Amino acid sequence: AQKITQTQPGMFVQEKEAVTLDCTYDTSDPSYGLFWYKQPSSGEMIFLIYQGSYDQQNATEGRYSLNFQKARKSANLVISASQLGDSAMYFCAMRGRSEKLVFGKGTKLTVNP
Amino acid sequence: GAGVSQTPSNKVTEKGKYVELRCDPISGHTALYWYRQSLGQGPEFLIYFQGTGAADDSGLPNDRFFAVRPEGSVSTLKIQRTERGDSAVYLCASSLRWAGTGANVLTFGAGSRLTVL
């Protein structure tokens, strides 16, 4: 079974600064994928970034990058140059052999002006 | 459609009543997923369809919950004899690919908020 742990219930960051949201995972599957989703107050889940377990390089998508440390089983999300619109819940998720996407409990990010 | 559409967006019902929640996935997406999100929690997997068949229904909490996708497109999540503990946001997602290969990104709808009084 897969498990995702997000230990930061809430995080605060100043506008224009970078922030790291932590995610650790546990799985016995040799091949897996890691995802980050953003959920604004409107409720819709928005895909941000994906990292495959065999990918050699850390994934990047614009201001989002994923700090993937396989040996530590961590997949932290780094948001650079934070904007007010980044304030939202952020969920880390993973998929192993099954099609289930397993989510963590999320981190609430607040960007201060 | 342009995105995943879920109706109703809000549903208030009384304990013991029957409820149907509808999901219209992105056109051409063969895989469809239902998740439940309780307050302050991450989404919890309920069921996954590949085409018309339920490929994995291991997340359905009990036999009061049932989902169908008769024509491989629109899906309906059905809850019988609702209980107060069923109150949550029910999220639907669809994806173009399946079988766990590559990113297989799920696109989510805005959800149906169910309140059982």
Q: What is the pLDDT of residues B11-66, one digit of tens each?
A: 999 999 999 999 999 998 989 999 999 998 999 999 999 888 888 999 999 999 99
B101 pLDDT exceeds 80? Answer: no
Q: Which of B18, B1, B13, B28 is nearest to B109 (CA)?
A: B1
Q: Do A44 and B108 touch (CB under 8 A)?
A: yes
B72 pLDDT exceeds 60? Answer: yes
Is residue B91 less than 8 Å (CB to CB) from chain A? yes
Per-residue 3-state assignment (H helix, E strand, C coil) for chain B: CCCCEEECCEEEECCCCCEEEEEECCCCCCEEEEEEECCCCCCEEEEEEECCEEEECCCCCCCCEEEECCCCCCEEEEECCCCHHHCEEEEEEEECCCCCCCCCCCEECCCEEEEEC
Question: Would you tell me how many other CB atoms lie within 10 Å of the CB of residue B104?
Answer: 18
If interface means Cβ-Cβ distance under 8 Å, which residues of chain A face chain B?
4, 33, 35, 37, 42-47, 50, 52, 91, 93, 95-106
Could you tell me whether strands B53-56 and B107-108 are parallel, antiparallel, or unpaired per DSSP bridges? Answer: unpaired
Q: What is the pLDDT of residue B102?
A: 62
Q: From first to last of the 113 residues of chain A, give the pLDDT tens digit.
A: 889 999 999 999 999 999 999 999 999 998 999 999 999 998 889 999 999 999 989 999 999 999 999 999 999 999 999 999 999 999 999 998 887 899 999 999 999 99
Q: What is the pLDDT of residue B103?
A: 72
Q: What is the mean pLDDT of residues B83-102?
A: 84
Cα–Cα distance, B86 to B89 (Å, whole number): 9
According to DSSP, residue A28 is labeled -
Q: What is the mean pLDDT of residues B97-105?
A: 64
The residue of A47, A50, A89, A100 whose CB has the most chain B CBs within 10 angstroms, and thus the best one to mutate to test that interface, is A100
Q: Do A99 and B106 touch (CB under 8 A)?
A: no
B10 pLDDT exceeds 80? Answer: yes
**Contact indicator for B46, B38 with CB cutoff of 8 Å:** no
Cα–Cα distance, A82 to A21 (Å, whole number): 12
Q: What is the pLDDT of residue B97?
A: 66
CA B61 → CA A18, A26, B45, B67, distances in Å?
A: 40, 23, 10, 12
Mean pLDDT, rounded, of chain B: 92
Residue B91: pLDDT band by 50, 70, 90 thresholds?
very high
Dump strand ranges (E) for chain A. 3-5, 10-14, 19-21, 24-26, 33-39, 46-52, 60-61, 64-69, 74-79, 88-95, 102-103, 107-112
